[in-house]
Structure 1
Amino acid sequence: MTDAAKPHLRPFDPRFSCGPTKKHPGWSLEGLSGAALSRSHRAPAGLAKINEALERTHALLECPADYRVAMLGGSDTAAMEAAMWSLLGARGVDVFTWDEFGRRWMVDACEELKLEDLRTFEAPYGTTPDFNKAGADRDIVFTWNATAAGARVPNADWIAADRTGLTIADATSAAFAMPIDWPKVDVLTFSWQKAMGGEAQHGMVVLSPRALERLEAHRPPWPVPRLLQLYNKDGLNEGLFTGKTLNTPSLLCIEDYLDALKWASREGGLAALHGRVDANFAALSDWVGRTDWIDWMCTDAASRSPVSVTLKFADPDVAALSTEDQWALSRRMGSLLERENAALDVTPHPAAPPGLRIWCGPTIDADDVAALCPWLDWAYGEARAG
């Protein structure tokens, strides 16, 4: 047990939620004053805003020139399900999962799409599956960064460069926050409320030429709801890539996303965003390295997420407690930190093991991470004593 005194210095911004994440530094409502409110999303003004969001996304993510970007309603969930429901069924499928969100795609493949030629590779929280089992002639569905487990793919070397199948990657907490190996990705999905701190209910899908070819040639054997259709009666739904969304988007949310994209460009683009993540992770890593009551949930450094940092209790006395009692400790710490306005929303995902989960994405400041660490020591001591 620690007996750390209550710190005097608080983080300037205590929001460390893994989603929705903190707004970018300098964000204000005034930055949204140019929103095309009370306008049709089909009118020139609304359509221009949507297209600007698509174009800025393509540029900031440094997508290859022949990859195309579309926006969908329903956040990353709809983007992933649109990809799975519209593209799968042409060949065998391998699904890799190691947290609650990846598991949802496995359940979709098994119970909703009922794929006949399906292989699943599942690993417990804090570890990753054996990616080398992926078939080069099969479609692959995986999560680039498992937000709830604090573990990511260590690299994309396991994806064959000469593959004949498609790769479909849920990258909702990886896009903008860590490098993406674009030649190894055919479909990439994400939501605005993760790395960029945008508002929820909007998802993005990035498609490679190979994925676009599949949409032109393949019709799945199951009925696909209209909101998930990346194609229409003429083949590829070209309107999706020119701002003609399948539902009515919030132009206020679009303005907020544009504001975040512009901030990122001013910061220095993708390299600057990755640099901010590195600085945040380094600050937290220094603390974990010198603290005996906490440890990484993911023991493999190469697979450890630098953005959704997930930690477990390492004190032998606490580790010997039941899961229920460890969760009680997590919640007590969370309540103490919130009461002091030192950290908000740092308890893990409800489906994950107990401990702490701290977002270190690009909108977080490293100084705030450094200021947070003494408060974690204090809250742990107080929660244990109570």
Structure 2
Amino acid sequence: MNQVDRRGFFITFTALLVLWAAVLMTLAITVVPDGYWYSYFVIDYSVGFIRRGLAGELLGLFGPEHYFLGLAVLRWIPTAAFVLGLAAVAWSVAVRSGRSQRRRLLALLIPVLPFGFAFGLFSARTDLLGGAALAVFAVVLTRVATARATVIASAVYGLALAVLSLIHEATPFLFGLGVLAALTVLAGHLDGKAFWASVVLALGPSVSIGLALAAFGRQGVSPQLCQLVQHGPMNHPLAGKPTIGQLLSGFHYYVDYHDWFCRAFLPLFDMTFAEGLRFVGSLGFVALAGSTVYGLVVLAVSVLAIAHVSGVPVRRYTGALRGRPLALVAGALMILPVFLTGVDWVRWWVIIAFDLGIVFLLYTRDQPEVDEPPTRRTLIVFAVGAILLAVLPIGIIPGFGAPVPM
């Protein structure tokens, strides 16, 4: 494939990528109901110190007369922030660190990865804000060259993550692995003392808030929280028991948002740790095992896709991760409570893929292979694989066996 043909390849694929993103946006706006995403923003601190209360305080800025308008705006903030975080990584890989065809391929690959654009669009929970923060933090680590600058960047990130933990309490536990991987791989200039100081500053404040919420956050306040939610129509197609054809044609079925939230969402929110354990266990071995296998496939696809396009071997990246084995173990242990109390096991694996994938992408930017011209086989495999990932967004499935809030 000559230079002209390759230029046409990149132009064509970029155009198809833009078209694909536009189609997904259209589906998200016109077909997929937003009511579930609203539920992350309706709980505030009026009943006391409670998890996710800061998100509800943001809704309060709009005033009661603009309640549903505020929800409609806030629903898109996690998605927008996450996509901008992905864009920052793509810019760092393909522009900031140098220009080559493989770098451009990596930038085009990022949106269609299992943790890419579709995940940010169709899994628009507030923990995506933590993903956006991790992406920016990882990019910053590629730009700082001294231990002092890294420690300062970690402290700033730690404060931001602490605030985000008040919006979604699982945020530091979901992205702790990514933070530790980023400091291990992208800040290789740190000695042991500076490394662990950076870890404490980056994760200490948010983990402390998470533990404080678990120890002191109010429980059993569902009746009071229910009263905070306004009445209004919410599109909930599944409640109308539609056919597949109706769903695809944009079938609408409206329920009262207040009644739905109090019936379907609050019982999940008000669970204790022990109740969360029992809820996860109620899914059964088959569902959890299926989610685990599926999640491992998602992780493998993500890492292998990055390795193939960049030309950087996975074993070199994993070798860099093993440079601080204790940190890697700590990151894996941090996400364990999320698996124990949350049923969205595939979603947790997608976030693990994001944690490790973002760092891998930024790791490739300084490897010699990424500046070598891609072979014809690389381009063909990239095109086929990327199209399959775009048509089959395997990262948007939250898990198997979990009940749908009705």
TM-score computed with the length of structure 1 as normaliser: 0.30
Higher helix share: 2
Higher strand share: 1
Of structures 1 and 2, the one scoring higher in RCO (CA 8 A, sep 6+) is: 1
TM-score computed with the length of structure 2 as normaliser: 0.29
